[in-house]
Amino acid sequence: MRLLLLRHGQTPSNVAGLLDTGAPGPGLTPLGEQQAAAVPAAMRGRRIDALAVSSLVRTSHTAGPLATDRDLRPTVLDGLREVEAGALEMSSDLADHHTYLETVFAWSRGDRARRMPGGPDGDAFLSRFDDAVGALAADGHDVVLAVSHGAAIRSWSGARVRGLDVDELAYTPLANTGLIEVEGDPVSGWQLVDWRREPVGGAQLDAVVANDPTGEPVDD
């Protein structure tokens, strides 16, 4: 299966620098709507058999234009949601951002017992994201685009995808509507196909100024 993991469009919380991971979560900013609207053209000529979104509304809003363009009904999978920030929820503090990102990339490096303050450990996060990906694979589609979240995509990909360097992944931001594309299955594993750090609709849709906690790099 070819799996395209697309990060949602920009939200007000991304702009404000808030660790906003709770349900139902915010919608999109005007820039986020432009990023979502650019996805169908960016995917033109690409086969997509199915769409999936998380249970947080920003992913449904991002998938909407593509769903309309392809006449597809997205499957909602709670397991694709963002990594819960726990005690750090809604924090704008840079030290908390660092703790959050250090924790999710510790999971990618194999420290699954490490726990988000007041939140899940790595086994809990990876298990529920694995289950969501497994459900998509079980549906039998060859190409699936799943709209998920910055830290969730990067942490799961770092742990599960061959051909990705975890350090590079941790220190490289993933823009809103950035994409990590993989191929494989839950049994044999996943191999990197492509990694688009900028919005799929083009670099002109990237945020000029934003302190974006779940998409930013881990600072030294």
DSSP 3-state of 70:
helix
Given strand 143-148, what is the order of strands in its sheet? Answer: 75-76, 50-53, 143-148, 2-7, 179-185, 189-196, 161-162
Q: Can you tell me the distance from the alpha carbon of 190 to that of 166, in angstroms, rounded to the nearest whole number?
A: 15
Please indicate whether residue 82 is annotated as part of the active site: yes
**Count of beta carbons in the 10 Å neighbourhood of residue 113:** 10
Handedness of CA 67, 41, 194, 215 (dihedral sign): negative
Write down the catalytic residue from 8, 61, 97, 149.
Answer: 8
**Count of beta carbons in the 10 Å neighbourhood of residue 86:** 16
* Residue showing tokens 């660092």: 98
Write down the catalytic residue from 33, 61, 82, 216.
Answer: 82
Please indicate whether residue 98 is annotated as part of the active site: no
Q: Which residues are catalytic?
A: 8, 82
